[in-house]
Amino acid sequence: METSIHCQLHQEYQVQYIFLNQNNIKFGCIECISDLQDENHNANIFKNIFLLHDIQSSPQKLLTQISNIDDQNLQFYSCLHKKTETIIMQTFQNWENNMRNFQKKIDNIILQQKEFVEQLLINYKNTIKQLQQEIKFEEFQNLIKEFGTANEKLQNDVLEQISHKITQHFESLDKNNAKELNESLKRIKQEYINQAENLNQPDIQELQTSFQQLIKSTNDLYSQMGKSFNYITQMNSSLIPNSYSKYLLGLIKNKLNQDIKQIKLLYLGSRDGLNGQSLWNKIDGKKHLIYIFKSKNPGNNIFGSYISCKVNQDLNNWQSDESLSSFIFSYTHNEIYPLKQSQKQHAILCQPISYAVWIGMSGNIGICNDFINGQSYLGSSYEWDKFENQRSSHLFGGDSPNIEECEVYELQI
């Protein structure tokens, strides 16, 4: 409030709070809050008390006092708080600093590598020059030139003389079983090796560390943007475009005949560790999960699955999907593979000691804990018209998954 208003009950204090009880709006001070604390032990009594300054800058808080506001609208606007701009800018500045630091390190590595290559080439040229001196290469080249001139003039007697000189040239180098030449060549070789070993090749370990920091800060920025602007019904995946995300979400909503209230990124391989235990630590006890994988195999196939039933790492058995809403998808091939009715009891295997992901009998998507090995019997439990009851490279682009990145999203239905 722009002007100071003194509390009617406690004149020595200024009004700082508003009590938004239905049909009973009051203003109060810090002493009024203290009196309420003394009189009441129920924390719910304070849920309708707001700081005047806070509520004046956060109009969305008034929505909580309107009884007929839709829950989804309330959830959306509740996420838009006054700290949004500050948080986003702080996250962006952190990302920008990491980006600029990474650029500086790249420039520095390029400069160091250039100096290294230049010194290496100088070493190489010096070694070749010494070799030329040891084998009297210039004399040999002159003999070749003389041979060419004599050949043009058809001077057969001169050609014979030059051929003889060339023979003598090699004989002189080979005298005493080329003992002297071998010693010289050995010395030149060792000098080359010593000089190469003394060159300071750039260390890219620091660059790799900076790159990981850059990835993390980028993920933090995207995550914060999603939270702050409340993209609650978007996946914002780095593996598939938003258009395909919307297609998958629309398919899920149609199968469940329910709306998706919120989407949360539970697991990101590059952030949380690309291994089975890290994955299960994030998804244990969750349901309505979307798995998205990117393979390092030729073609970089992208594929995944929606699993509606709850996953439980202590189950050590199959989990059934009675809704038959689970499916496998291939973004690369633009195909959907729904769960067969006869196989609904084999929607997903919860056995973390053996597998990171095992979807369908025989592993329609079978990925071991190292995210490298596995198999795909696509069609055994999830419908595929080309199923031949054998391992397939259709999803992976190879015999094994060889996963480069994995994202797992939780849908709140």
List pLDDT tens digits, range 130-182: 999 999 999 999 989 988 888 888 888 888 898 999 999 998 888 888 898 89
pLDDT band with cut points at 50, 70 and 90 for residue 76: low
**Looking at beta carbons, which pairs linking 69-78 to residues 24 or more positions away fall under 8 Å?**
72/259, 72/261, 75/232, 75/261, 75/262, 76/230, 76/232
pLDDT at 23 over 90: no
Question: Which residue type sits at 88?
Answer: I
Q: Which of 136, 147, 131, 130 is nearest to 170 (CA)?
A: 136
pLDDT at 198 over 80: yes
> Whose structure tokens read 């630091």?
101
The reported pLDDT for the residue numbered 228 is 58
pLDDT at 81 over 70: no
pLDDT band with cut points at 50, 70 and 90 for residue 393: very high
The reported pLDDT for the residue numbered 45 is 64
The reported pLDDT for the residue numbered 298 is 94
Neighbouring-strand partners of residue 305: 291, 328
> Whose structure tokens read 């010693």?
183
Which of the residue ranges 20-24, 91-95, 215-219 would you say has the lowest mean pLDDT? 20-24
Q: What is the mean pLDDT of the chain?
A: 87
Range list of H helices, 319-398: none
The reported pLDDT for the residue numbered 12 is 87
pLDDT at 58 over 80: no
Report the alpha-carbon angle 328-329-335, nearest 5. Answer: 125
Residue 230: which region, alpha, beta or left (left: phi > 0; alpha: psi -120 to 50)? Answer: left
The whole-angstrom distance between residue 290's C-alpha and the CA centroid of its chain comes to 17
pLDDT band with cut points at 50, 70 and 90 for residue 376: very high
pLDDT at 231 over 60: no
Q: How far apart are CA 97 and CA 32, in angstroms?
A: 46
Summarize the confidence of residues 342-360 as an average pLDDT. Answer: 94
Higher pLDDT, 39 or 312: 312
Q: Give the tens place of pLDDT for each residue, 296-335.
A: 999 999 999 999 999 999 998 999 999 999 999 999 999 9
> Whose structure tokens read 């004599």?
150
The reported pLDDT for the residue numbered 340 is 96
pLDDT band with cut points at 50, 70 and 90 for residue 1: very low
Phi, psi of 102 (to 5 degrees): -65, -40
Which value, in Å, is the radius of gyration of the alpha carbons in the chain? Answer: 37
pLDDT band with cut points at 50, 70 and 90 for residue 344: very high
> Whose structure tokens read 């480069």?
404
pLDDT at 84 over 60: yes
The reported pLDDT for the residue numbered 220 is 78
Domain parsing of the chain, residue ranges: 17-57, 87-198, 231-412
